[in-house]
Amino acid sequence: MDYILLFVGFLLTVGGILGSFLPVIPGPPTSWLGLLLLHLTSKVTTNWTFLGITLAIAIVVTVADYVIPALGTKRFGGSKYGIWGSTIGLVVGLLFAPIGMILGLFLGALIGELMNDAKNLQKAFRASIGSVVGFLFSTGIKLILGIAYLIYFIRDVIRHREAFFGWL
């Protein structure tokens, strides 16, 4: 059973990294589940504090992933229309991932800003760039977190390699 947990845990941790880019996989929670499965084996001592902290981080990053693109729009001078447009564009863009997500964010913010002030194309374009920058920033955070969780996973497996693989 330990080897199944180890194998599935590794797949989930790697899957969490893929979830940084693929919208159908919630990256940080998936990576965290991999860590949980590793700690549920009889070979690794379960560290509930570590698991609690890493779960909290995964939740915060997952929530922030939905907020950061809108904040990017606002930071680059966007209005509520641009924020709503970028959010709607992201949701519609999910249907055409991954390029559709970026294009949806950009076009959604652009259309939202033009609905607010049709004469100010420069401001609308800038807000649209902000939404894409915010999205790329949140994707980067998820990627870094996924890689960190994979490193923790591998470190714990190496630390307990004799228990898992007595011949190593």
Mean pLDDT of the chain: 89
H or E stretch at 86 = helix 80-93
What average pLDDT score do residues 70-89 get? 82
| The pLDDT of residue 168 is above 60 | no
pLDDT digits (tens, 9 = 90+) for 134-146: 888 988 999 999 9
H or E stretch at 111 = helix 99-116
- Taking the model in full, what pTM does it have? 0.79
Give 127's Cβ-side CA count (13 Å radius).
Answer: 30
